[in-house]
Amino acid sequence: MVAMSGSVAERERHAAEGGTDLLTVGVEEEFLLADPHTGTAVPAVELVMEQVPAELRGQVEREFQTSQIEIGSPPGLELSSIRHSLGMLRAELADAAERAGVRLLAIGTGPVDGPVPAVVDKPRFDRMIERFRLLVPGPGNNGMHVHVGVPDPDTGVRVLNHVRPWLPILQAVTTNSPFSRGADTGYASWRSIEWERWPSVAPTPYLESHEHYQRLIRQLIASGVMLDEGMLYWYARLSAKYPTVEIRIGDVCPSVDDAVLVAALVRGLVATALTDIAAGRRAVNTDHHLLVAAHWRAAHDGLEGQGVDLTDGELRPAWELLERLVDRLRPELERHGDLDRVTELLDGLRRHGSGAARQRAVFAKTGKLVDVVTDVARQTRG
């Protein structure tokens, strides 16, 4: 492995020379479209798409429901480039939404009660509704997906085994949907609970090989719980489109800074897994039911509560588990030049709290969910 100084110039030179030890990262974010006066979700995706600048339309897509819209950043080596892309895309999309008469919200699910917007008119989505009927998750279920480059599918499957015990604490970091249908749900991520209605949503199983991974996909499609590989909603999977591992556990983050922090942690986690694989260290085969419990606890408590320590099954403060994760990732964060930025962003997260905590703080102050919506819109734009 080539020794790196951590400077931008040296990392870019190494990438240009064909180095493969630094990993690219890209982010997909889903957003809710809401009425600016009431905060209810509105079926405005077509109106917003019409307002998106032509040069950005390749990075903006419709999502499952007509109240949702999605962006994707180009993959990059530098967190600064990821931050620039996400910030620019969010700002342009927020402008487009305002021109269409709605607000863009980086929020896990709609907090204000109202009619459930229709599903986007697309043959695949029509088949999903025909098969799964009433599983449409309320006003819109908005997540964040982080892609990290891996050398090949066999290695990618081994990475999935290594990262699975750490995903509950990353889920806690992203919790950003405490309200639904006009009330506090008691959960930090209600989106996670709604999302689990779909039968193929689950922690990634411990996988024997890439062939095992492909066999499970075939069997799940044959069982009827999935129409196709795109409905493999495991919390981590191999991308069906790109040579990446895709971590898809979190609510969409309220701010660009939150999203950049999660992207850096995910890349550090994948890079650490690759280091362990190269050193011959086996992944811990954490019990599936304990993983389910840890993910439930993350959705319930978020970052401000307790999390399940998967080394012994005991509860620990979620921040303690997050600090343990960062300590484990420190060598790779430093090697990718991300450590200082991650430290800064973690300090901000500790001061401001998770997205769920921020929403609850606004509601505690004013008692109005429309004020929560206004504050989320402000954070979304940055």
Burial category of 234 from C-beta neighbours within 10 Å (exposed 0-12, middle 13-18, buried 19 and up): buried
Please provide the DSSP assignment of 289-347 as one string: HHHHHHHHHHHHHGGGSEEE-TTTS-EEEHHHHHHHHHHHHHHHHHHTT-HHHHHHHHH
Q: What percent of the chain has pLDDT over 70?
A: 95
For residue 289, what pLDDT is reported? 97
Mean local confidence (pLDDT), 278-283: 97
For residue 19, what pLDDT is reported? 39
Q: 269 pairs with which residues across the strands?
A: none
Mean local confidence (pLDDT), 300-326: 97
For residue 137, what pLDDT is reported? 66
The angle formed by the CA atoms of residues 151, 200 and 58, to the nearest 5 degrees, is 55
Classify each residue of 114-130 as buried b or exposed e, where b means 16 or more C-beta atoms within 10 Å of its C-beta: beebebbeeeebeebee
How far apart, in whole angstroms, are the C-alpha atoms of residue 91 and residue 96?
Answer: 9
Mean local confidence (pLDDT), 206-218: 98
Residue 20 has pLDDT above 60, yes or no: no
Residue 1 has pLDDT above 70, yes or no: no
For residue 135, what pLDDT is reported? 83
Residue 14 has pLDDT above 80, yes or no: no
For residue 363, what pLDDT is reported? 98
How many CB atoms neighbour CB 202 within 10 A? Answer: 16
pLDDT tens column, 127-149: 999 999 878 768 999 999 999 99
For residue 382, what pLDDT is reported? 82
Instruction: Say which DSSP state 221 is in.
Output: H
Residue 251 has pLDDT above 90, yes or no: yes
Residue 12 has pLDDT above 60, yes or no: no
Mean local confidence (pLDDT), 94-121: 97
